[in-house]
């Protein structure tokens, strides 16, 4: 699943899909092969490209293609990408974001699983030698093979398919330290969960896992009408800047056991959460007292630091 091609990437996705491709554009194929390449692909070029390659978005891959090159350029600016940067894009799709990344002067590895889209990318990126297209499943990839074995930092910049956004971000944070910054577009609800703080409605176990490794923020909302197919929800762009080290000193396995156990029933108290983890009532009370956490506190009120103190105070 690692067919390498020297071409550039685009913006593939995030959302469900319609049952039909774009209606055929009246733009001739000769124009679509050359027009709009420097400034990005507009809707007319994308329609023609999809028609010529027989492409319709696939629900099973969570595909939603970005139509607006202005949004693509804005995401590249959000990511602070410039000449000489190394960028990996997951879900390159039809190449909208890829072209914007290339225009920044960065060296780009564009990963795409769908073989039809890989063919379309080869078409779009014929004259973009700084882009390397790799056909691969990002959730099963060898990251060293994709990024190389040196220590040069990378930036992940992508319009992520909705169905892999959370697991992919968590995997990159946990296993790919050379990716020092991620600027990714995804379904609004998912993005807000990644960047949530204690007390936010979206705050949960995923938020704590992100905070352990990165500073996260939502930096842009993106309306449904700039995608094909049009999703039923808004998207957001989330920026995650990797921390040089976790902000808490705690055994990781113990930490995630407490976090996951607590959020399994997020409306219950921490005393109840520790009881579910096997502590006797007196042990639960002593653990929370030693941690400075009220027995009546609920998981959505606790910070990463609070959870770390609870995990450290848990009996062995």
Q: Where do the structural domains in the chain lie, given as residue ranges? A: 3-242, 252-313
Which two three-digit tokens encode residue 249? 């000193």
Where is mean pLDDT largest: 9-13, 37-41, 104-108, 227-231?
104-108
Q: What's the distance, Cα to Cα, between the start and end of the chain in Å?
A: 44
d(CA 219, CA 227): 19
Contact 147, 176 (CB under 8 A): yes
Model confidence at 140: pLDDT above 70: yes
- pLDDT, tens digit (0-9, with 9 covering 90-100), for 192-239: 999 999 999 999 999 999 999 999 999 999 999 999 888 889 999 999
- What separation in angstroms does the CA of 187 have from each of 81, 121, 236? 23, 24, 6
- pLDDT, tens digit (0-9, with 9 covering 90-100), for 55-111: 877 777 667 899 999 999 999 999 999 999 999 999 999 999 999 999 999 999 999
Contact 256, 230 (CB under 8 A): no
d(CA 266, CA 271): 12
d(CA 6, CA 311): 48
- Mind spelling out the 3-state secondary structure of 234-258? CEEEEEEEECCCCCCCCCHHHHHHH
Give pTM, 2 decimals: 0.85
Rg (CA), the chain: 22
The model's confidence at residue 5, banded by pLDDT at 50, 70 and 90, is very low
Which residues make beta-bridge pairs with 217?
239
Q: How many CB atoms lie within 10 A of CB 294?
A: 14
Model confidence at 284: pLDDT above 90: yes
Residues 6+ apart with CB under 8 A from 160: 13, 14, 90, 91, 168, 169, 184, 185, 186
Q: Find the mean pLDDT for residues 120-146.
A: 94
- What separation in angstroms does the CA of 7 have from each of 92, 126, 131, 190? 11, 6, 5, 30
Residues 6+ apart with CB under 8 A from 198: 300, 301, 302, 303, 306
Q: How many helices (H) and strands (E) does the chain have?
A: 13, 10
- Provide the pLDDT for residue 39: 56
252-313: CATH architecture: Orthogonal Bundle (1.10)
d(CA 229, CA 210): 29
Q: Find the mean pLDDT for residues 228-255.
A: 96
- DSSP character for 22? P
- DSSP character for 99? H
Provide the CATH number for the domain formed by 3-242 in this structure: 3.40.50.150
d(CA 88, CA 54): 26
């Amino acid at each position: 699943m690692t067919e390498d091609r020297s071409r550039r990437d685009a913006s593939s996705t995030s959302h469900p899909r319609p049952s039909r491709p774009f209606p055929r554009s009246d733009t001739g194929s000769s124009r679509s092969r050359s027009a709009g390449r420097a400034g990005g692909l507009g809707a007319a070029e994308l329609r023609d490209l999809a028609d010529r390659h027989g492409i319709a978005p696939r629900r099973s891959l969570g595909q939603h293609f970005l139509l607006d090159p202005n949004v693509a350029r804005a995401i590249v600016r959000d990511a602070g990408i410039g000449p000489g940067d190394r960028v990996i894009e997951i879900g390159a799709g039809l190449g909208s974001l890829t072209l914007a990344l290339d225009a920044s002067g960065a060296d780009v590895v564009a990963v795409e699983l769908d073989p039809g889209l890989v063919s379309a990318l080869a078409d779009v990126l014929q004259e973009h030698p700084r882009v390397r297209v790799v056909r691969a499943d990002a959730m099963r990839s060898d990251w060293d093979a994709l990024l190389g074995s040196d220590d040069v930092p990378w930036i992940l910049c992508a319009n992520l398919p909705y169905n892999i956004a959370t697991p992919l971000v968590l995997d990159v944070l946990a296993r790919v330290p050379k990716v020092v910054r991620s600027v990714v577009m995804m379904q609004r609800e998912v993005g807000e969960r990644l960047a949530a703080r204690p007390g936010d409605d979206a705050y949960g176990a995923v938020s704590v896992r992100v905070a352990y490794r990165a500073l996260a923020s939502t930096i842009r909302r993106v309306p449904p009408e700039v995608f094909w197919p049009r999703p039923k929800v808004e998207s957001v762009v989330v920026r995650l800047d990797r921390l040089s080290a976790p902000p808490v000193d705690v055994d990781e396995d113990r930490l995630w056991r407490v976090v996951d156990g607590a959020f399994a029933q997020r409306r219950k108290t921490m005393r109840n959460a520790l009881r579910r983890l096997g502590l006797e009532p007196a042990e639960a009370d002593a653990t929370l007292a030693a941690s400075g956490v009220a027995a009546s506190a609920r998981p959505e009120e606790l910070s990463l630091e609070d959870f770390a103190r609870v995990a450290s105070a848990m009996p062995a």
